[in-house]
Amino acid sequence: MKPTRILTIAILAFMLIAPGLVQLSSNSNATNFDMTKNYARSYDHHDQIWIQSDEEFHTQAAAESWAGDGSSDSPYVITGYLFDCESQPLRIWHTTVHWIFTGNEIFGVGSNIQCGTWIEDVINGAIVGNEVHNRHAGLAISEVSDFRVADNYIHDCWGNGIEFFGEMNNTIVEDNIVENIGAAGIYSISSRDCIVEDNTISNCDNIGIALLGVSPRCTVTRNTISNCDSTGIMMAQTEDGFVTDNIITNVEDQGIYMSRPDNSEVSNNTISAVDGVGVRVTLSELTNFFDNEIEDCTAEGFRLSSGKNTTVNWNSVSNVSGYAVNLEENSINFTVRFNTFTNISVSCQVCDDGTSNTVSHNYYDDWSSPDANADGYVDSPYIFDGDAANQDSFPLAVAGVVPTTGTTSASTTNNTENQLPTELILMAGAVGAIVLVAGILMLKRR
């Protein structure tokens, strides 16, 4: 076969497989725990469903002709029901079969209304696409693993909206709307390897999202929280945790409160209109706070109360009534760099009462000149309040512009936009494989 003909075949083959490669790459982002929502068009009034074992589940599923067989490929589907009883309408305990409760409505009628659900000691369950209202807690869940709570509308409850009153492991809480709640929007006393994402929470009388007790390897991301009478997001004792890309507005006490974070990340959050502190940190270690935007707080932007070896870099703080950054007495070896501070009400924008903290290369809008030698730094250091007698020896003359001379390594950011997309990498590999095969064929034909 002629070399030109082989090359033509190779090009045509690549054109045929390239769209498939792109499609394969885009599909790989789908979660393995996805379940199709099965909304009912009409509801049938139903008494409580109380199940306390796999055997009882199989028996009731057969009696009610629920779809599925309880396997991972075909979970039991409980759908199309209306519950208005005082006690818990759905109580499932001690089960491992796969099931999904979807397309139902739960509300309360009476004087002794209890929680919408009581799920305990359950593996492989899902509560998806339901409306729950006028209950004590909307959903009460305890001691679950491989569980999913998604796409529910939970409103007008006087307890917590979604409450995990026992440990949750490997659980996803996503895409729920939780509003008009008498306590916290989403509340857990112990969480491990869990994801809380893409929820919309508003008008809560307490915390928006609270992961208390311990919360190692948990991610709280892309949630929108507004109009809460306490903290937007509170996370306790997390290790390798992430709080990212959340929007928090019109809350009280703190926008985000991190207690005992270890080797964790708090980034790309937008926090505004806080009757209190933007971000509060206690007992932090090896944790990074970066690319957060904080504005319109009645107290500090960052209150770094205690901890060590933590960074606060590339953040923006504006229109706060207290310090942009307050390093309190028990903060040790914190690094605060490359931040932008504007419209800070107090006369000095940073206070350092801690020990061995490094605060440098920040922009202070009340200290942006003179820069006589045009090196990008204000000619005089910025002197801080506080007992540490600390200063920023390299205050930036222009917000966000870090001179490249002398501090090139410090001027890098956390931007990953220039990384090659997975699709291009896959296509490049495919081209290489095709060219290799074509070359082998040419050699064999010689």
Two tokens at 325? 């950054």
Q: What is the pLDDT at residue 43?
A: 87
Q: What is the pLDDT at residue 405?
A: 61
DSSP state of 41: S
Q: Which amino acid is at 70?
A: G
Q: Which residue has the tokens 């112990």?
A: 190
- Average pLDDT per consecutive 10 residues, the chain (446 residues; last block may be shorter): 47 43 34 39 88 98 98 98 95 98 92 93 98 97 98 97 95 98 97 98 98 95 99 97 99 98 98 99 98 98 98 98 98 98 97 98 96 95 98 96 62 37 46 47 44
Two tokens at 431? 């081209």
Q: What is the pLDDT at residue 29?
A: 32
Distances (CA, A) of 60 to 56, 74, 78, 242: 6, 16, 11, 41
Nearest to 344 by CA among 285, 299, 383: 299
Q: What is the pLDDT at residue 110?
A: 77
Q: Which amino acid is at 265?
A: E
Alpha carbons 328 and 399: distance in angstroms, whole number: 25
Please check whether residue 11 lies inside any domain of the structure: no
Please check whether residue 56 lies inside any domain of the structure: no
Please check whether residue 288 lies inside any domain of the structure: yes
pTM for this prediction? 0.81
Range of 322's domain?
231-410
Q: Which amino acid is at 145?
A: S
Please check whether residue 6 lies inside any domain of the structure: no
Please check whether residue 63 lies inside any domain of the structure: no
Task: Using DSSP, state whether 108 is helix, strand or coil.
Answer: coil
Q: What is the pLDDT at residue 28?
A: 31
State the Cα angle at 56 between 176 and 146, rounded to 5°: 35
Q: Which amino acid is at 405?
A: T
Alpha carbons 269 and 245: distance in angstroms, whole number: 5
Longest distance between any two alpha carbons in the chain, whole Å: 90
Two tokens at 24? 């394969």
Is the torsion defined by CA of 313, 294, 225, 298 positive or negative? positive
CB 280, CB 323: distance < 8 Å: no
Nearest to 102 by CA among 123, 74, 131: 131
What total number of domains does the chain contain?
Answer: 1
Please check whether residue 19 lies inside any domain of the structure: no
Distances (CA, A) of 10 to 5, 16, 425: 9, 10, 18
Please check whether residue 8 lies inside any domain of the structure: no
Alpha carbons 292 and 23: distance in angstroms, whole number: 33
Two tokens at 438? 């074509």
Distances (CA, A) of 207 to 16, 42, 340: 53, 34, 28
Please check whether residue 13 lies inside any domain of the structure: no
Give the bridge partners for 101, in sequence order.
78, 127
Respond yes or no on whether the N-terminal peptide bond of residue 370 is cis (omega within 30° of 0).
yes
Q: What is the pLDDT at residue 404?
A: 82
